[in-house]
Structure 1
Amino acid sequence: MSSTRKKHPIPKPNSLPSLSLPSWAVDPPQALFPSKQELFRVVTVLAIASSVAIACNYFVNFLNPTLKPFCDSSLDSLHSHTDSCQPCPSNGECYQGKLECLHGYRKYGNLCIEDGDINETAKKLSEMVEHRLCKAYAQVLCDGSGSIWVQEDDMVKDLGEHELMKNFESKNAIYITKKRTMDTIGSILESRTNSYGIKEWKCPDLLAEQYKPFSCRIRQWVSKHALIVVPFCALLVGCTLLLWKLRRRWYLSIRVEELYRQDL
């Protein structure tokens, strides 16, 4: 007895169910992708944000840098320039990574610059000493009274007692100010060592001439050119008297003629 199996009918290709895709997959909406203008705006915003972030990072690093310790001044120049430390600046001394500026200099960041207060005070004091010595020497050149040479010890003592020195609290600043004042004076005034081994200073002759009073200059000029001035003055007085006599004679002749005409 033959067994018969039921065969399911194989669907034909035309009879397969059709798969339908959604409309948004076939034709996506335009709002799904940004437009060129929106894309340009996004790129612009990102570029500005990146620039601001880079600038902020630069300024933060600039204001708060990670400082390396200073190389010791005692090291050789070949070993001082390493990546682990930065070279010690000029006019400074470095020890154990710390910087100490020399006398007369103050710390400014990683540098040692000249102290402006010391320089300004030294300039004023040197001008004061020059004026005092040159004025005294000019007085000697005019009438022969006064002093020419001043001892260095007296000069330094006067500098220490000057009221400008009261602006400095430390003795070190006062010492540096005196030293710079004397260095400036040394380039202007003349110096010598007397028989007692004491250094003395005086104003140069050409510079002292500028401190003479005007009346003194006139008087000295007249005395120096007396051989020319006296004859010239005598000639001038003689010419003046002669002109006065001629004028008087002419006036008298005119007056006589007027009186003669009145008598007629």
Structure 2
Amino acid sequence: MSFLMKARFSGGMAESHQLPAYEGAQSLYGISRSALITLNYLAEGRVRRRDFSPRGFQINLIESRRGSFEAIFEIITNPGMMTIVGSLGAYASAEFVEKFLASTVRRSVGEAADPTIEELEAIDSLNTGDTSALVDAIEPAMRSAHTVINHGAGAIELLTQRAELAALNAATKQYVWSSIPDDEIHEKLLGIASYNANSREGRAFDYELGKTIPFSISRDADRTTVAEILKSITSYALRREGDTLRSSVAVRYTRVLSADDRVKKIKILKARHELLDLNN
């Protein structure tokens, strides 16, 4: 199986079919490294930041095109040799690989994942501890991918024949370059979409934002907190199937913010069934 991924640079010098050599090369490096880390996880089932030994996939830079400035990547996969993809049965396809790659990149810039990926996480077909770690692992590469933004180009679109995988611009550049701890205590009702007990990490649906956000549970949290998180997962799964069962859980948490005050991640300190119970 194979598909083409196009990196389309627009704005600035890119409109004249050129890029500054260093900045352009750094952006192509960041894009290709983000893809390498992500596809290596699908192949090996392990999140690596170095010492890659690609098996079951190949990433080639095959050509560049004028208008504005486009670089074309060829991504070749063999699902039978890819640990994660091969375990998903009917989902083992080039389309799934595209969606997974897009979701990892989108989450790294603060956007929502593809619904298919979130559904697979909700039913534990995808390990949320791994997918959260994967987003963290590609963050340095995604910073490199943004090098040319405001330094030769205004935006980069990552496209396949099926869809736009992600859009990188000045706003996403600001997002990936900022992580500001906010130790102020917050309380809110969230729906727990997925949770990995080994890593104590997962994703929670924020009803106000309309998307899931990554979370970790504090090592100091009590057993009741973990129990309430697990209850919410079950309720959330039933709700997705049309059940009207209330799926929210009250959480007390701190945040990590981007420079524009978007929530990048939360740390859950305490969880209870109702907000009033957080004081008990």
If the length of structure 1 is used for normalisation, what is the TM-score? 0.21
- Higher Cα radius of gyration: 1
Task: Say which structure is richer in strand.
Answer: 2
Task: Say which structure is richer in helix.
Answer: 1
Per chain length, whose mean CA-contact separation is higher, i.e. which structure has more relative contact order (CA < 8 Å, sep 6+)?
2
If the length of structure 2 is used for normalisation, what is the TM-score? 0.20
